[in-house]
Chains A and B, each alone.
Chain A
Amino acid sequence: MRMDKFMRMLLVSTASISILIVALIFLFLGKEAFPFGFDPGLGKLFDTKWIPVSFQEERFGIYPLVAGSSLVTLLAMLISIPLSVVGAIYIAEVAQPVEREILKPFIEILASIPSVVLGFFGLVVLAPLVKNVFGLSSGLNALTAALLLALMALPTIITISEDALASVPKSFKQASLSLGASDLQTIFRVTVPAALPGIIAAIMLGIGRVIGETMAVLMVSGNSAIISFFPLDSVRTMTATIAAEMGEVPFGSHHYQALFWIGIVLLLVTFVLNILSRLVLKKYGMAQ
C-alpha cells in the first residue's frame, strides 16, 4: 500500500510538471509583454508599419507580419491540401501493397528532415527556380516560402488523412460496390465522406505546422515587413520576426516587449486552430 502511495505521488508530480511548464510559459510571456500595455500602449500594435529600430519614430504595427504569415500560410495550404489529400487517397485506396510499402516510408522520411535543411534546399534550389520562372531579381518571396512550407505540411496531412481513410470500414465499400458503384464512385461518395473528419483534422494540424514554422521561412521569404497579398512580393512572418530580432533586441525595451506580443498572438492563433480541430473531431465522433 505504501508503495502504491509513493508511485501515485511520483506519477502525479511527473504529470503535473507538463501543466506547470505550460502555465509558466503563459506567465512568462504575459510578464514580458505586459508593460507594453502602459507604455507605449497596446494601440501601437495596431499599426501598418513595423519599424522597431528608428531614429525618428519607432513603430510596432504587427499588421505587416500578420499579413505575411497569412499570405504564406494560405498559399502553402492551397498547394499542399489538394496534393496531400489526393496523395492520401491514392496510398489508402488505389496503390498496390508494394507501392504502399515504398511510398509510406519515404513520406515519413520527409517528415523527419530538419527544417533548417529544408530551408537550405529552398535557398539553393527553390528560390533560383522561382526567380527564373517568373523572371524576378530575387527568388526570396512569399511563393518560395509557401512552396517550402507546403512540402513540410505534406507528410503531416498525408499520414493522418491516410489513417482516416484506411479506418473506414470495409463493409461500406462492399455495400457500395455491391450496388454497382465503380471503385472511383465508391472512393468519392462513400470512403472520403466517411473519413472527412479525420481529413479535416489532418489539414488543421498541417496549418498549425505551417504557421508555427520559423527557420525555413526566415531563410526564403525575403523578410521585408510590408503589407502585401501578392505572392511574388517579399514578406516577413511573425515567427521569422521573433527569430531574427530577438537576439539583438535590448532587454526590456519596447521592441523586446512587442516581440513578446507577437508571440502571444501566435500562441492564440495555434490555440484556436487546435480547439477547432478538436471540435471537428468531437462533432463527428472520431473518438469512437
Chain B
Amino acid sequence: MVNTKKSTQKTTKPIIQAMDVSFFYGTAQALFNISLDIAPQRVTALIGPSGCGKSTFLRCLNRMNDIIPKTRLTGKVLISDRDIYGEKENIVDLRKQVGMVFQKSNPFPKSIFDNVAYGPRIHKLNDKKKLAEVVEKSLRRAALWDEVKDRLSNNAMGLSGGQQQRLCIARALAVDPKILLMDEPASALDPKSTTHIEDLIGELRADYTIVIVTHNMQQAARVSDETAFFYEGHLVEFSPTKEIFTKPKQKQTEDYITGRFG
C-alpha cells in the first residue's frame, strides 16, 4: 500500500484531537472520556458493536449532535488547533471544513448539478462559470463525472443507490473540506457499489483526512490506516489497522474482531 511509506502518525501533528470527551443524551452517557488524535491525510476507521458510541463520536466532530435536543458534551475537541466547542467557534466555518457523508444516501430532490452546487451557493459562490467548474471537479473527484456529465439537469433521485452515495460525496467535496466524516457510507449498498466507494476512499486519502464508521470489519481492514475500537461508550483500543487486526492488545478487541460477539 502506498501509505506505508508516509511518515508515521507520531511525527505529524494531529488535525483532530479529542481530549477527554464525554457525551450525554439527556442523562444517559454515551461516550466516556474519549481521547484520540487523528493525523492528517489518513483514513481512520471507527469500529465496534451497535450502540458502542462510534457514530456519536463521529457526529461530535462536526457538531451534528447539536441538532438533537438535550445533548451535552464535556471535554474538548480541537480541529486544526481550534476548539470547536469553544465560544468563538463559528459552526458554519466548522462544517465547511468538516464534510459528512451519511449512512443512507440523501441527495436533495433537485438536479444533479444543483445538489453539488448547493454547498458552494450557500457559501456565496454565485458566479456561473466558477460554479460549473466546482461541480465538475467535485464530480470527477467522486468518480461520478463520466456517468452523469450528459444529464446534470436530471433529478438526482433517478440515480442508482451507489451513484447517489457518490453524489453525496461529491456534494460534500464541493465545499472543499479538509476532513471527511463517513457514517457507514456503504452499508446500504450492493457489493459492486461498495467496492466503488472503497476505491474512492483510497483515492481521496491523498488530499483529505477521512474518519469512517463501519460495521464491516473487512472494510475497516481494507480501507483504513488506523482503527479505533469502541465498546459501550469507551475507546478500548486505537492502533494502526494492521496491528489491531493481527495482534490486538486488548482481549475485548480480539473477541470482537474474531467474531465472538458484536
Chain A interface residues toward B at CB < 8 A: 169, 171-182, 185, 189-190, 193-194
Contacts and interface: CB of A to CB of B under 8 A. Distances in A.
B110 interface: yes
A173 B118 CA distance: 13
Contact of A171 (B67, B95, B102, B122): B102
Given A185-B122, A189-B118, A194-B109, A178 B104 contact: no
B171 interface: yes
Contact of B64 (A174, A185, A193): A174
A185 B110 CA distance: 15
- Shortest beta-carbon contacts, A-B, top 4: A171-B106, A180-B95, A178-B100, A179-B119
A193 B99 contact: no
Contacts of B134: none
B199 to A, nearest CB: 23
B122 A179 contact: yes
Nearest to B97: A180
A194 to B, nearest CB: 6
Contacts of B96: 179-180
A189 B171 CA distance: 15
A86 B214 CA distance: 41
A177 B118 CA distance: 11
B108 A174 contact: no
Given A175-B108, A180-B92, 5 more contacts: A173-B67, A174-B102, A175-B171, A179-B118, A181-B118
B100 A180 contact: no
Contacts of A173: 67
B123 interface: yes
Contacts, number: 63
Chain B: interface size category:
20 to 34
Given A169-B106, A171-B104, A177 B123 contact: no
A227 to B, nearest CB: 44
A171 B164 CA distance: 13
B30 interface: no
Interface in B84-124: 91-96, 99-100, 102, 104, 106-110, 118-119, 122-123
Interface SS, A side: helix
Contacts of A194: 108-109
A177 B62 CA distance: 10
Contacts of B64: 174, 177-178
Contact of B168 (A175, A177, A181, A189): A175
A54 B48 CA distance: 89
A172 B109 CA distance: 9
Nearest to B110: A193
Given A171-B106, A175-B171, A181 B62 contact: no
Contacts of B109: 172, 193-194
B52 interface: no
A181 B108 contact: no
B106 A172 contact: yes
B95 A177 contact: yes
Contacts of A185: 122
B108 A180 contact: no
Given A180-B119, A180-B175, A175 B95 contact: no
Interface string B164-194: 0000100110010000000000000000000
A189 B123 CA distance: 13
Contacts of A179: 95-96, 99, 118-119, 122, 171-172, 175
Contacts of A193: 109-110
Nearest to B109: A194
19 contacts: A171-B106, A172-B106, A174-B64, A175-B102, A175-B106, A175-B108, A176-B122, A177-B95, A178-B64, A178-B99, A179-B171, A179-B175, A180-B93, A180-B122, A180-B123, A181-B119, A189-B122, A190-B108, A194-B108
Contacts of B99: 178-179
